[in-house]
Amino acid sequence: MNKVYHQIDNSSGSVINLRAQGVKYHELAEVSSRGKTSLAQVIKLDGDQVSLQVFAGARGIATDGRVRFLGHPMQVPFSDNLLGRIFDGGANARDKGPELTGELISIGGPSVNPAKRIIPRNMVRTGIPMIDVFNTLVESQKLPVFAKAGEPYNDLLARIALQAEVDVIILGGMGLKHDDYLFFRDTLDRSGALSRTVMFVHTAADPVVECLLVPDLALAVAEQFAIGGRKVLVLLTDMTSFADALKEIAITMEQIPSNRGYPGDLYSQLAARYEKAVDFEGAGSITILAVTSMPGDDVTHPVPDNTGYITEGQFYLRGGRIEPFGSLSRLKQNVNKNTRDDHRTIMDTMIQLFAQYRSTLEKQSMGFRMSEWDGKLLKYGARFEKEMMDITVNIPLEKALNLGWEMLADCFEPVETGIRTEILDKFWPKRG
């Protein structure tokens, strides 16, 4: 039987406080006052003192308002009919489509038992050379995309959503501008990728509590698809907005702040979401790629700093490109040894030569005399930036490896690359 209370002690911002018995953390409630009703979520328990975050805000809620606890956390109907649909952070249809029916699943559950996890072993092909060749994305991996404001990280996620060789895309948007939401919707719709996508979108104008629910909704749905045998890629943007929502609620609750005002449990809050990445033996998998914006391009900011201790590497997006230095996929060695014999050779050689190109650019900018070798590096680097680093490039891994060999052969003599003779004999382009 649902518990109903008619006495609200006080409110602050979008949080109301009352005394109640037998209530659980994250339990949902309906708050009714002056003819209006809104969902609310339990965010703090202190004995019989209960604090709820009201989705629609606490403005206008009288102290004699009605609070009915529902006895369960946020739930979302699950079925294949979710594909192609767009929802808000409260699991309500944003696309004006029909209400969903299906098995109700709770969000925010525990991550998979580590003993049941299997070693990541399969590549997720994206068609983007800077990922597939140099920092391969692996099934069940969790990777952040670090970027400062103004970088096209949403463009990158949209391109990955279009090109990734997976069964299902789950897109979770937090604090999105309305234009960004329309960009994702229209891009996926025009390409036909929306039919394999489920979107949970919180815009900057929506209640802050819905921002906190988006990753949990996305990951709960992803888990059900994965259990059913689907290969699922979860794209989240932006986890800094998620952390800012945590901070806003913590301030409202008068919690003692930690680093730069963020709550002390920031690390565990982030980890609880990232650890949902998993590869199920005999079933599907969940891979997580999440944007983490860096205010002031500061990697020591609490959000990217804590994220780095949780995830298995990172992508740095700088100047509209995935930066080869600093970007890292710690699990790439699990798969690129099995893709093609020359994968590791191309990866190592091209990055080493690109590093020399960057040094040559510095020499050039300072007016040093350029050698013949410097000229070769400048030619190579220009091609590398245009044909490999551009995030709009869409080519399969094998074609990207062949392109790498063509670039090397066009700019250098075989002996200048430092590649082993047996690899050169097998893969160096035969000309004329």
**DSSP one-letter string for 35-104:** TEEEEEEEEEEETTEEEEEETT-STT--TT-EEEE-SS--EEEESGGGTT-EEETTS-BSS--PPP-SEE
- Of 268, 297, 331, which residue is a domain's last? 331
- Write the pLDDT tens digit of every residue in 169-204: 999 999 999 999 999 999 999 999 999 999 999 998
What is the average pLDDT across 301-325? Answer: 94
Question: Whole-prediction pTM value?
Answer: 0.93
Maximum CA pair distance of the chain?
Answer: 88
Within a domain: 336: no
Q: Are residue 320 and residue 359 in the same domain, yes or no?
A: no
| Number of domains within the chain | 3
Q: Are residue 166 and residue 227 in the same domain, yes or no?
A: yes
pLDDT reading at 432 higher than 70:
no
Q: Are residue 32 and residue 151 in the same domain, yes or no?
A: no
Q: Are residue 212 and residue 300 in the same domain, yes or no?
A: yes
Within a domain: 337: no
Closest residue by Cα to residue 246 from 43, 92, 12: 43
Q: Are residue 160 and residue 11 in the same domain, yes or no?
A: no
3 state DSSP class of 322? strand
Within a domain: 318: yes
Within a domain: 338: no
Q: Are residue 204 and residue 351 in the same domain, yes or no?
A: no
pLDDT reading at 60 higher than 90:
no
CATH number of the domain within which 17 lies: 2.40.10.170
3 state DSSP class of 174? strand
Which residues lie closer than 8 Å to 90 by C-beta, 6 or more apart? Answer: 39, 55, 74, 207, 210, 213
Q: Are residue 162 and residue 310 in the same domain, yes or no?
A: yes
What is the average pLDDT across 150-156? Answer: 95
Within a domain: 432: no
- Of 297, 331, 365, which residue is a domain's last? 331
Q: Are residue 95 and residue 151 in the same domain, yes or no?
A: yes
The pairing of beta strand 86-88 with beta strand 197-203: parallel
What is the average pLDDT across 217-238? Answer: 96
| Domain coverage including residue 409 | 343-427
- Of 299, 331, 363, which residue is a domain's last? 331
Q: Are residue 307 and residue 348 in the same domain, yes or no?
A: no
Q: Are residue 98 and residue 42 in the same domain, yes or no?
A: no
Most confident of 38-47, 178-187, 361-370: 178-187
Q: Are residue 157 and residue 306 in the same domain, yes or no?
A: yes
The rounded Cα 282 to chain-centroid distance in angstroms is: 25
Within a domain: 394: yes
Q: Are residue 264 and residue 368 in the same domain, yes or no?
A: no
